[in-house]
């Protein structure tokens, strides 16, 4: 929804509240998306697309404003690399979170340490890139990194990722102040 707002397409999208986790399957969603993942976008002609990067890249073709997926190289490569870093952070954070739901005696401390080390390495790398993040146009990479850092705030506040990373913390404050983020909170635990 942040991307939709950035592209000025909010009036062209109808959202449907969907719960995809837990013991209850969303059977209606699975009829059009067998993976049962959100976001899922159903087009007017019945075509269904899913997975955030796919949906966002499609939507990026529908407007004339600045593109979240730049077309020119090396800007596109930078955006895609940053997207991979932000997505990789989420891909690392999710099993770390899930591990915490297991009984303590069944949790893998080596795995938890590995996942935390990866997250710390990502934050450290982003601190070195923070000046460049702030000096370039907003892309899919910025969006993925901003969301990943917000997720760390939400689920792993004990990491205190801002400590020792003042440039990244300052950049994330500008991300959080974007009208698209203010209109669509990154973490919505309703």
The CA-atom distances, in angstroms, between 187 and each of 25, 34, 103 are 22, 25, 26
What's the pLDDT tens digit per position in 38-84? 889 999 999 999 999 999 999 999 999 999 999 999 999 999 999 99
pLDDT score at 24 = 57
**Closest among 8, 6, 10, 27 to 18, alpha carbons compared:** 27
Check for a shared fold between 2-62 and 75-180.
Answer: no
- Nearest CA to 85 out of 40, 136, 130 is that of 130
Query: Which one, of 60, 68, 33, 63, lies nearest residue 47 by Cα?
Result: 33
Q: Would you write out the chain's pLDDT as a tens digit for each of its 190 residues? A: 999 999 999 999 988 777 666 555 677 788 888 888 788 999 999 999 999 999 999 999 999 999 999 999 999 999 999 999 999 999 999 999 999 999 999 999 999 999 999 999 999 999 999 999 988 899 999 999 999 999 999 999 999 999 999 999 999 999 999 999 999 876 554 3
Q: What's the whole-model pTM score?
A: 0.91
**Is the CATH number 3.30.70.1430 carried by domain 75-180?**
no
Q: Where are the domains of the chain?
A: 2-62, 75-180
What's the CATH number for 2-62?
3.40.30.10
């Amino acid at each position: 929804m942040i991307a939709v707002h950035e592209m000025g397409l909010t009036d062209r999208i109808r959202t449907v509240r969907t719960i995809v986790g837990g013991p209850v399957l969303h059977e209606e969603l699975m009829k059009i998306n067998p993976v049962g993942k959100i976001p899922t976008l159903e087009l007017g002609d019945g075509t269904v697309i899913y997975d955030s990067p796919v949906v966002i890249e499609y939507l990026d073709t529908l407007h004339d404003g600045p593109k979240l997926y730049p077309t020119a190289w090396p800007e596109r490569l930078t955006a895609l690399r940053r997207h991979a870093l932000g997505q990789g952070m989420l891909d690392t954070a999710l099993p770390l979170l899930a591990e915490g739901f297991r009984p303590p005696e069944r949790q893998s401390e080596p795995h938890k340490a590995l996942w935390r080390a990866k997250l710390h390495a990502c934050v450290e790398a982003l601190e070195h890139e923070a000046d460049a993040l702030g000096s370039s146009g907003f892309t899919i990479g910025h969006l993925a990194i901003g969301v990943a850092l917000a997720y760390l705030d939400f689920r792993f506040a004990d990491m205190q990722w801002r400590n020792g990373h003042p440039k990244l913390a300052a950049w994330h404050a500008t991300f959080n102040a974007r009208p698209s983020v203010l209109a669509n909170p990154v973490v919505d635990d309703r």
